[in-house]
């Protein structure tokens, strides 16, 4: 547990908040987009439409038994919130249950025509295709750094820091935040969001512990790193580039990627998305992308890169409620890399902490040092200095939720 008393959880009924906007506007739009982008039966589509309508003022419905591994766990989680409105249950619970319900409705776990169909597949594939130019540039750069290491044998510390920045800003390109409204052409396209220059973004990093992470990684003490992965698409490519650099320059021996066991939060990455990504790179016919993909494939084959999934990662639980077997597994790591906004929310239990709270007093339950690489997309943040908050709030009133600002927060 965190050292400090737990503040209340964020809930959708908080007037005028991004949380409320998410439950009442974004989630219905996401459910409707699942209808539009798939070829589900009229019965499935009408249940999705019903879910979209109910979110605004309606009540949670029980999960039907779809014979999935996590059914009884969900039945237990739901006990606490039986008969409550979507708007009144903790926001993180509402979001995770919403995505799980979409899978029940679309027969994801039931034997038959729709079994295993990822309702967000189209968006995942389009996300990769739209960022191909940026992907090729990044792969070329990483190949060069790896070649340099092979000829010079020296760690390029600037390269390491730059790749940490890419892993951070890759998190801007998350599909759940924009996808529902992208067709209006209002938010920047995936291609635009994946085109950024890390130097020019330095001022947008509100806490920057990258140097401490670099020092740890170059100390020779870390043998294994574990990533708690976030989104497929450009963000996953950025993460995989960092993974490749760390393994290819022998900074660490082994990396675990912790992935979701089923589709959730639109673009969250599963094991199959990692394989889809390497296949996409290979199919690009671009030699830079192909070389990087081949190295990744060889790391997977040799066990240096381990792809792992667990139902804890799609549960509504806070990270301090992690099951013992998983926590024990993570004690073997030298660094936990926690990617993205939703994972950050789970680190903090998605609660109303004071923004200046020391993050180390909350995540003291973790079994290893950790770094959070997160762009801000929700009204949950800690570890910020009040002067920084004042300044950013003046320059950008929606700084907490628009994904333009980031943090690299390290806890030893
Ligand atoms: O992909 P990330 O960075 O976890 O962010 C996605 C999630 O962020 C939020 O906007 C806020 O946490 C969620 O509603 C959204 O789905």
pTM here? Answer: 0.94
Whole-Å CA distances, 231 to 75, 134, 151, 176 = 27, 16, 34, 9
Nearest CA to ligand 1 atom 2: 341
**Which atom of ligand 1 is closest in space to residue 22's alpha carbon?**
14
Q: How far apart are CA 380 and CA 343, in angstroms?
A: 11
Q: What is the pLDDT of residue 195?
A: 52
> What are the residue boundaries of the structural domains of the chain, listed by start?
18-105, 121-411
Q: Which of 342, 343, 401, 403 is the pocket-test mutation for ligand 1 (most atoms within 8 Å of CB)? A: 342
Among 133-142, 207-216, 393-402, which is the least confidently predicted range?
A: 133-142
Pocket of ligand 1 (CB under 6 A): 22, 95, 171, 174, 176-177, 230-231, 265, 340-342, 345, 377-378
- When the pLDDT of each residue in the chain is averaged and rounded to a whole number, the result is 94
Whole-Å CA distances, 158 to 71, 142, 165, 394 = 46, 12, 11, 32
DSSP 176-231: HHHGGGGGGT-SPPHHHHT---GGGGGGGEEEE-HHHHHHHHTTT---EEEEE--B
Q: What is the pLDDT of residue 190?
A: 53
Nearest CA to ligand 1 atom 13: 342
Q: What is the pLDDT of residue 201?
A: 87
pLDDT in tens, 50-80: 999 999 999 999 999 999 999 999 999 999 9
pLDDT in tens, 211-230: 999 999 999 999 999 999 99
- Whether the pLDDT of residue 104 is over 60: the answer is yes
CATH number of 121-411: 3.40.50.10880
Among 172-176, 225-229, 313-317, which is the least confidently predicted range?
A: 172-176
Tell me how crowded residue 184 is: count the other CB atoms within 10 A of its CB: 7
**Which atom of ligand 1 is closest in space to residue 26's alpha carbon?**
14
pLDDT level of residue 199 (50, 70, 90 thresholds): confident
Using the mean position of ligand 1's atoms as its centre, give its distance from the Cα of residue 342 in Å: 5
Q: What is the pLDDT of residue 188?
A: 55
Burial of 245 (0-12, 13-18, 19+ CB in 10 A): buried
Q: How many helices (H) and strands (E) does the chain have?
A: 18, 7
Nearest CA to ligand 1 atom 14: 22
Using the mean position of ligand 1's atoms as its centre, give its distance from the Cα of residue 389 in Å: 21
Whole-Å CA distances, 360 to 2, 165, 348, 363, 384 = 9, 22, 11, 5, 12
Q: What is the pLDDT of residue 191?
A: 56
pLDDT level of residue 198 (50, 70, 90 thresholds): confident
Q: How far apart are CA 210 and CA 307, in angstroms?
A: 25
Using the mean position of ligand 1's atoms as its centre, give its distance from the Cα of residue 177 in Å: 6
Full 3-state SS string of 5-44: CCCCECECCCCCCHHHHHHHHHHHHHHHHHHHHCCCCHHH
Tell me how crowded residue 6 is: count the other CB atoms within 10 A of its CB: 15
Q: How far apart are CA 222 and CA 202, in angstroms?
A: 26
pLDDT level of residue 184 (50, 70, 90 thresholds): very low
Angle value at C-alpha 128, between 375 and 155, nearest 5 degrees: 65
Tokens coding 393 = 């709030």
Contact 267, 231 (CB under 8 A): yes
Whole-Å CA distances, 315 to 95, 97, 261, 349 = 10, 8, 10, 12
Contact 124, 273 (CB under 8 A): yes
Tokens coding 105 = 């409705």
Pairing of strands 370-375, 335-339: parallel
């Amino acid at each position: 547990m965190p050292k400090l008393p737990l503040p209340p959880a964020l809930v959708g009924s908080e007037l005028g908040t991004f949380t409320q906007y998410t439950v009442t506007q974004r989630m219905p739009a996401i459910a409707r987009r699942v209808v539009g982008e798939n070829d589900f039966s009229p019965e499935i589509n009408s249940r999705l439409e019903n879910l979209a309508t109910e979110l605004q003022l309606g009540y949670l419905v029980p999960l039907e038994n779809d014979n999935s591994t996590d059914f009884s766990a969900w039945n237990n989680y739901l006990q606490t919130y039986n008969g409550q409105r979507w708007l009144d249950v903790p926001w993180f619970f509402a979001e995770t249950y919403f995505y799980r319900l979409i899978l029940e409705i679309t027969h994801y776990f039931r034997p038959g025509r729709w079994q295993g169909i990822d309702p967000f597949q189209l968006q995942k594939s389009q996300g990769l295709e739209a960022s191909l130019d940026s992907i090729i540039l990044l792969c070329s750069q990483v190949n060069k750094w790896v070649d340099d290491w092979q000829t010079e044998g020296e760690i390029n510390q600037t390269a390491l820091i730059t790749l940490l920045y890419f892993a951070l800003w890759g998190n801007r390109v998350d599909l759940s935040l924009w996808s529902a409204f992208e067709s209006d052409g209002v938010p920047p396209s995936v291609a635009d969001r994946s085109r950024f220059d890390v130097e020019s973004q330095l001022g947008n990093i509100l806490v920057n512990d990258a140097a401490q992470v670099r020092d740890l990684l170059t100390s020779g003490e870390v043998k294994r790193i574990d990533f708690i992965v976030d989104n497929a698409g450009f963000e996953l490519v950025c993460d995989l580039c960092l993974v490749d650099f760390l393994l290819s320059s022998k900074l660490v021996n082994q990396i675990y990627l912790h992935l979701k066991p089923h589709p959730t939060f639109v673009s969250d990455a599963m094991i199959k998305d990692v394989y889809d990504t390497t296949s996409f790179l290979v199919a690009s016919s671009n030699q830079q992308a192909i070389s990087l993909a081949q190295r990744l494939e060889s790391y997977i084959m040799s066990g240096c890169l381990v792809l792992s999934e667990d139902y804890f990662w799609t549960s509504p639980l806070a990270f301090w409620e992690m099951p013992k077997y998983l926590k024990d597994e993570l004690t073997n790591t030298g660094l936990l890399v926690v990617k993205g906004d939703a994972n950050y929310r789970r680190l903090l239990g998605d609660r109303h902490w004071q923004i200046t709270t020391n993050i180390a007093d909350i995540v003291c339950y973790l079994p290893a040092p950790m770094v959070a690489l997160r762009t801000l997309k929700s009204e949950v943040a800690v570890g910020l200095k009040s002067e920084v908050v004042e300044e950013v709030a003046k320059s950008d009133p929606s700084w907490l939720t628009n994904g333009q600002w980031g943090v690299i927060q390290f806890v030893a």
